[in-house]
Amino acid sequence: MFTSKQMHLAQVFLKIFFRDRQSIIFNLLFPLIFMGVFVFFGGESEPINLGLVNNSSNTISQEFSELVEEEPLFNVTKGEESELKRQLFLGDQTAIIIIPESFNSIDETAEIKLLLDASQVRQIGSIKEAISKSLLSIEEKLKEYTAYVHD
């Protein structure tokens, strides 16, 4: 594996490295401090510009829309599908959620469409993850709301 000459050279270089305090600081401690600064002082991320199209007019879809608007992760713009798609194309929106007309019961499944800005390909994974986490919390609140309404 390693020859005795290689092991001897490695030992000599390690001794030289550990004798020089300046090299220890810049090679070991400085990168750790630098990473710590970025981790703790990175700041909060900007909210995602989210368009919301509500094609259903019942109370469940209205409550869902209100819960999406209350989510601090999103900067919500309500509007018509064609106008929000135009804004998505221009880059004013990051994503659009389209609530279908069939979104009328908590017991039935309805497919909510999510349109994403294709120019942000690198961020699609994080955007989808953030939106799905937020939508799951909204779904839990919505189930609590419908259980409260039915009681």
pTM of the model: 0.60
CB neighbours of 92 closer than 8 A, spacing ≥ 6?
A: 49
Q: CATH number for the domain including 127?
A: 3.40.1710.10
Residue 72 Cα distances to 25, 33, 76, 81, 134, angstroms: 41, 31, 10, 23, 9
| Contact call for residues 131 and 98 (beta carbons, < 8 A) | no
Mean predicted confidence (pLDDT) in 70-93:
89
144 and 80 together in one domain: yes
> CA–CA separation, 138 vs 118, rounded Å?
25
Question: Within this chain, do residues 54 and 110 fall inside the same structural domain, yes or no?
Answer: yes
- 28 and 99 both lie in a single domain: no
Q: Are residues 55 and 113 located together in one domain of the fold?
A: yes
Domain range for 30 is: 4-40
Residue 53 pLDDT level (bands cut at 50, 70, 90):
very high
* Number of domains within the chain: 2
Residue 31 and residue 100 share a domain: no
